[in-house]
Amino acid sequence: MTLHAERKQLVAPGELLAEGPYFAGENTYREGGKIFASRIGMADVIGNKLIVVPIKGAYIPRIDDLVLGRVTDIGMSGWQVDICAPYPAMLPLSETPMRRDREEGRRDLSSIHGVGDLVLAQVIAFDRTRDPLLTTKGRGLGKITSGRVARISPAKIPRIIGKNGSMITMLKKETGTDIIAGQNGVILATGKSPDQETIAVEAIYMIEREAHTRGLTDRVKAMIQERMKGKAIA
């Protein structure tokens, strides 16, 4: 039973991580009693399981993911939504909140969501044989009408959120904005003034660029405080 990789070691596809009775976790694979990395990223060991935390990669939806998507088409019973995944997502009319003022017989989908609208939704179904299914029935879900959007690599979303939400909590507090980070790499910052939103977005891009460097939280906090001083915030 040999571990070849250290925790947080940068590994490339095909590199040997361990030999023996280990489990092959995310972004690794098992071949003939050995475990290899399949993506470039940081190796880590959790108990008996080897994983690689990826640096880049496409967004693959998982059930319960919160995503921010753009409506691309209106069909007979729902909308097609681009959630930056290799598969277009579907938001059926039946998965939107019922409105008392909506008459049963009249279903004018374009009056609810039009092409180009940004929606906050949750993934309720996805598997190998069909495209992801979304819902906007939860609290806070639905059409987004204000705020600033940042688009980053989905692999960096955990860094934006931070351990137990520490990074995103700091961002919200220091910029005075509400920040929603979609698992698909699309982030929304809403504040009382566009300047606050701009600073929040700048901080987000800074985190994406410097995700794996020392003392990031402090540097981002300092940057925000510096920028906030220069603006007249109500």
**Which one of residues 66, 93, 109, 118 is an interface residue with another protein (CB under 8 A)?**
118
Min dist. Cβ of residue 102 to another protein (A): 23
Q: Which is nearer to another protein, 40 or 124 (by Cβ)?
A: 40
Tell me the window of 34-42, 92-100, 175-183, 225-233 that interacts with another protein (CB under 8 A). Answer: 34-42
CB 175 within 8 A of CB 193: no
For the chain, the C-alpha Rg in angstroms (whole number) is: 21
Please state, in angstroms and rounded to a whole number, the distance separating the CA atoms of residues 234 and 231: 9
Here's the x/- map for another protein, 151-190, by CB under 8 A: it reads as ----x------xxx-x------------------------
Tell me the window of 90-98, 110-118, 172-180, 224-232 that interacts with another protein (CB under 8 A). Answer: 110-118
Please state, in angstroms and rounded to a whole number, the distance separating the CA atoms of residues 198 and 95: 33
Please state, in angstroms and rounded to a whole number, the distance separating the CA atoms of residues 50 and 26: 8
In the DSSP assignment, the letter for residue 134 is: E
Sign of the alpha-carbon dihedral angle for 161, 62, 86, 94: negative
Min dist. Cβ of residue 103 to another protein (A): 27
Q: Is 219 in the site for another protein (CB under 8 A)?
A: no
Q: Is 115 in the site for another protein (CB under 8 A)?
A: yes
Window 44-73: residues binding another protein (CB under 8 A): 54-58, 60, 70, 72
| CA distances to 17, 40, 66, 100, 125 from 94, in Å | 47, 40, 18, 14, 14
Closest CA to 49 of 33, 26, 82: 26
Please state, in angstroms and rounded to a whole number, the distance separating the CA atoms of residues 92 and 96: 7
Please state, in angstroms and rounded to a whole number, the distance separating the CA atoms of residues 186 and 61: 13
Tell me the window of 93-101, 103-111, 175-183, 210-218 that interacts with another protein (CB under 8 A). Answer: 210-218
Please state, in angstroms and rounded to a whole number, the distance separating the CA atoms of residues 55 and 34: 23
Q: Which is nearer to another protein, 38 or 177 (by Cβ)?
A: 38
Please state, in angstroms and rounded to a whole number, the distance separating the CA atoms of residues 208 and 203: 9
Count residues binding another protein (CB under 8 A): 51
Q: Which is nearer to another protein, 94 or 225 (by Cβ)?
A: 225
**Which one of residues 4, 19, 23, 39 is an interface residue with another protein (CB under 8 A)?**
39
**Which one of residues 18, 22, 36, 122 is an interface residue with another protein (CB under 8 A)?**
36
Chain contacts with another protein (rule: CB under 8 A): 8, 10, 12-16, 27, 29, 36, 38-40, 42, 54-58, 60, 70, 72, 82, 86-88, 115-118, 128-129, 144-149, 155, 162-164, 166, 194, 212-218
